[in-house]
Amino acid sequence: MAHQVPASAFSRQFGKIREDVYEAGVIEVTAHDRVVGAYISPKELERFNRLKKMERDVVTFSDFDDDMLAELRDTQWGVISK
């Protein structure tokens, strides 16, 4: 389970939490018994940014308009487009 801290303690004890995050990696900030945000270490931020770069959008045929579908249908595979 991730380390959790109430939002009020996060604001009052930021200096301590800033040091604790290096060991914890991620500290979840809660309010009214629900997670409202997180504070992450530089190492976790680097990992997060690397994973975000690797994400890909999934496109389905319903996302294509008629012009795009016609272009796809007329594509000659192995031929560089103009």
CATH code, 58:
3.40.1620
82 residues of the chain, pLDDT tens digit each: 679 999 999 999 999 999 999 999 999 999 999 999 999 999 999 999 999 988 887 778 788 888 888 888 888 887 776 6
In the chain, how many domains are there?
Answer: 1
Task: Tell me what pLDDT residue 81 has.
Answer: 67
**Residue 22 falls within a domain, yes or no?**
yes
The model's pTM is: 0.65
Residue 21, token pair as written in the block: 């995050």
| Kind of pairing between the strands at 34-40 and 26-31 | antiparallel
Asked whether residue 34 is domain-assigned, the answer is yes
Secondary structure of 31-74 as H, E, C letters: ECCEEEEEEECHHHHHHHHHHHHHCCCCCCHHHCCHHHHHHHHC
Residue 79 lies in a domain: no
Rounded-to-10 torsion of CA 42, 20, 37, 7: -150
